A and B are shown apart, each in its own frame.
Chain A
Amino acid sequence: MAAHWPGAHPPCWKLMAGQSLCFRTWDEEEFLLYNNLSGDTHLIDADAIDVLLSLQQQPAGAEALLALLEMDSADRHLLDGMLEQLCALSLIEAESATAAC
């Protein structure tokens, strides 16, 4: 995802405004998320729901999210792929870097 943001600062991610994060799980592995902004229901994994819940609390950059998921920097491409997908689903959006990131 970083390649899509050629500016000097990596993006800071935040939950899309108005997203209510209505979700259910029956096994703590797969989660169903009702996207109240699009009307779609998404099947996502536990890491994705952790990221969304974290971003609901406050915006965060990739480094903070790597730490949240206990991933090391070698896994950065996995995180970037997830963030790109969540962005494509209009669940999160990038904002310019802030102190929180």
Chain B
Amino acid sequence: MLTVAALTRSALERALAGPGLDLQTGPFVTRLRTDISLIADGVALLYGAYAVLPPGGFADFHLHLFRPRGLRRWYRPQVLLESDGHQLFEPLPLSQAFPMFEWGLNWCVSNAAHSYLIIHAAVLEKDGRAVILPAPPGSGKSTLCAALAHRGWRLLSDELTLVRLDDSGIVPMPRPVSLKNASITLMRDYLDQPVLSRGVVDTVKGTVAHLMAPADSVVRSAETTRAAWVVFPRYVADAPPTLTPIAKARGHMRVAENAFNYSTIGEPAFRALAGLIDDASCYEFSYSSLDDAVAVFAQLTPEQP
């Protein structure tokens, strides 16, 4: 299997600027085309373990990032993103090119992959059982996910949990973990030599940087799993770690509120999520210390059938 890491820098740039780099991320193939070196930098740094497929095959998503023409190209360069020939977002400053690729890929999955129920949630696995962390921005979800992914849990996704509609199985799609603002410094200190992209300032989310997914998570991205826990995390300054059980029906409702396409899919989504909740204990979790949180998660035990 050819991986990004096996490509020389010039081969990577030739593929990106030419027919595109067919990148396997979980169940999806993304054809990425760009001549922007910032994106090549990010792909080379963070996607080394990902499979590159031979050019010309089927791709689920077609992303093209480029600098628009015009005078602005010279005095305030920008980046545009097209998916299947359609512009997805307003132009952004060129410095935000790599985050734009990440956001664009998230957009493609959450808006088009309706063969899965897609939950806005981190998901990790240990000993064959997954914990799902649905949460709105600001809850500390990605920070907690990054910590767990480096403390014995396999990263399945930090942003998009894919649930199969037929059997409620969880399909991994490990990608770089998106960190924002204070979390970037926090994870630099917390992890041992983390691989992080350069911080990009003044985005709509503040300063963002992406943390490389552990290589083992990427290599095992074809291994599906089942949920054993749904945990709604909330960072609360100075709070002790507190895990509070909640009724499954309420857990289902809250997960549905965090799903991108629950209403679009309708009854199959209801059934898939109910099947997931069948197997899963549901909790609210407040915490302030990552070490405390990791210790609590290490003590999670699956529900007895």
Is B253 interfacial (CB-CB < 8 Å)? yes
Query: How many pairs of A and B residues are in contact by the CB < 8 Å rule?
Result: 41
Is B131 interfacial (CB-CB < 8 Å)? no
Is A41 interfacial (CB-CB < 8 Å)? yes
Is B111 interfacial (CB-CB < 8 Å)? no
A43: chain B residues at CB < 8 Å are 249-250, 253
Partner pick for B250 among A30, A34, A39, CB 8 A cutoff: A30
Cα A19 to Cα B252 in complex, Å, equals 21
Instruction: Indicate with 1 or 0, residue by residue over B235-279, a CB within 8 angstroms of chain A CB atoms.
Output: 000000000000111101100100000110011001100100110
Say whether A27 contacts B247, CB under 8 Å.
yes
Within 8 A of B (CB), among A18-61: 22, 24-27, 29-32, 34, 36, 39, 41, 43
A25: chain B residues at CB < 8 Å are 249
In the complex, how many angstroms separate the beta carbon of A37 from the nearest chain B beta carbon? 11
A36: chain B residues at CB < 8 Å are 266-267
Say whether B263 contacts A39, CB under 8 Å.
yes
How many interface residues does B have (CB within 8 Å)? 16
B256: chain A residues at CB < 8 Å are 41
Partner pick for B274 among A24, A27, A39, CB 8 A cutoff: A24
Cα A27 to Cα B270 in complex, Å, equals 18
Say whether B253 contacts A22, CB under 8 Å.
no
Interface on chain A toward B: helix, strand, loop, or mixed SS?
Answer: strand
Say whether A22 contacts B249, CB under 8 Å.
no
Say whether A26 contacts B249, CB under 8 Å.
yes
Say whether A22 contacts B247, CB under 8 Å.
no
A32: chain B residues at CB < 8 Å are 249, 252-253, 270, 274
Cα A25 to Cα B262 in complex, Å, equals 19
Say whether A41 contacts B270, CB under 8 Å.
yes
Cα A22 to Cα B268 in complex, Å, equals 11
A30: chain B residues at CB < 8 Å are 247, 249-250
Please name 17 further chain A to chain B contacts, defined as beta carbons within 8 Å, in addition to the given A22-B271, A36-B266, A41-B253, sorted by A numbering: A22-B267, A22-B270, A26-B247, A26-B249, A26-B277, A29-B247, A31-B249, A32-B252, A32-B274, A34-B267, A34-B270, A36-B267, A39-B263, A39-B266, A41-B252, A41-B270, A43-B249
Say whether B266 contacts A27, CB under 8 Å.
no
Say whether A26 contacts B270, CB under 8 Å.
no
List the A residue with the shortest CB-CB distance to B270. A34
Cα A45 to Cα B263 in complex, Å, equals 22
B262: chain A residues at CB < 8 Å are 41
B271: chain A residues at CB < 8 Å are 22, 34
